[in-house]
Amino acid sequence: MPVGGFPILFITATRIGDAVLSSGLLRKLIQEIPSARFTIVAGPAAAPLFAEVPGLDEVIVMEKSETGGHWFSLWNRVRRRKWGLIVDLRGSAISNFLSRKRRAVFHRSSGPPVHKVVEASRVLRLNDDLAAPFLYTSAETEARAVEITSGSGPILALAPAANWIGKTWPLERFALTAIELLKKGGPLEGGRLMVLGAPQDWAVIDSLRHVVAKGRLIDLVGKADLLTAYACLKRARLFIGNDSGLMHLAAAAGAPTVGLFGPSDERLYAPWGEHARVVRGPREFEQIRAADPGFAQVLCHMMDLTVPAVVKAATNLVAVAPAAVEPADA
**pLDDT(205) > 90:** no
Asked if 192 and 275 sit in the same domain, the reply is: yes
* Residue 93 resides in a domain: yes
- With beta carbons less than 8 A apart as the criterion, state whether 188 and 214 touch: no
**pLDDT(327) > 50:** no
Asked if 180 and 290 sit in the same domain, the reply is: yes
* Residue 141 resides in a domain: no
Give the whole-angstrom CA distance, residue 144 versus residue 4: 33
Beta-sheet strands, E only, within the chain = 6-11, 36-42, 56-61, 83-88, 100-105, 155-159, 192-197, 217-221, 238-242, 257-261, 276-280
pLDDT attached to residue 271: 98
Asked if 117 and 156 sit in the same domain, the reply is: no
* Residue 202 resides in a domain: yes
For the segment 53-102, what is each residue's pLDDT rounded down to a tens digit? Answer: 999 999 999 987 666 678 989 999 999 999 999 999 999 999 999 999 99
Across 25-48, average pLDDT: 97
Give the whole-angstrom CA distance, residue 60 versus residue 50: 10
Residue type at position 116: K
**How many domains, in total, are found in the chain?**
2
Q: What angle do CA 64, 42, 228 make, to 5 degrees?
A: 130
**pLDDT(17) > 60:** yes
Containing structural domain, residue 181: 148-320
At residue 47 the predicted structure's pLDDT band, cuts being 50, 70 and 90, is very high
Asked if 258 and 114 sit in the same domain, the reply is: no
Which residue from 20, 242, 232 is spatially nearest to 132, judged by alpha carbons? 20
Asked if 307 and 160 sit in the same domain, the reply is: yes
Across 191-201, average pLDDT: 95
* Residue 114 resides in a domain: yes
* Residue 327 resides in a domain: no
pLDDT attached to residue 193: 98
Percent over 90 (pLDDT), the chain: 85
- With beta carbons less than 8 A apart as the criterion, state whether 159 and 165 touch: no
* Residue 130 resides in a domain: no
Asked if 316 and 200 sit in the same domain, the reply is: yes
Asked if 108 and 153 sit in the same domain, the reply is: no
pLDDT attached to residue 282: 97
pLDDT attached to residue 28: 97
Q: Element (H or E) spanning 158, and its range?
A: strand 155-159
Q: Element (H or E) spanning 157, and its range?
A: strand 155-159
pLDDT attached to residue 67: 66
Give the whole-angstrom CA distance, residue 73 versus residue 62: 9
* Residue 256 resides in a domain: yes
Question: Mean pLDDT, the chain, as a whole number?
Answer: 93
Helix (H, G, I), strand (E, B) or coil at 130: coil
Asked if 211 and 263 sit in the same domain, the reply is: yes
Asked if 287 and 165 sit in the same domain, the reply is: yes
For the segment 292-317, what is each residue's pLDDT rounded down to a tens digit? Answer: 998 988 889 999 999 999 999 999 99
Asked if 54 and 108 sit in the same domain, the reply is: yes
Percent over 70 (pLDDT), the chain: 95
Asked if 232 and 113 sit in the same domain, the reply is: no
* Residue 131 resides in a domain: no
Across 109-138, average pLDDT: 93
Asked if 169 and 95 sit in the same domain, the reply is: no
pLDDT attached to residue 110: 80
Q: Element (H or E) spanning 122, and its range?
A: helix 116-123
pLDDT attached to residue 326: 46
For the segment 231-287, what is each residue's pLDDT rounded down to a tens digit? Answer: 999 999 999 999 999 999 999 999 999 999 999 999 999 999 999 999 999 999 999
Residue type at position 324: A
Tell me, what CATH number does 303's domain have? 3.40.50.2000
Q: Which residues contact 279 (CB under 8 A, 6 or more apart)?
A: 258, 259, 260, 261, 305, 309, 310, 313
Give the whole-angstrom CA distance, residue 230 versus residue 239: 12
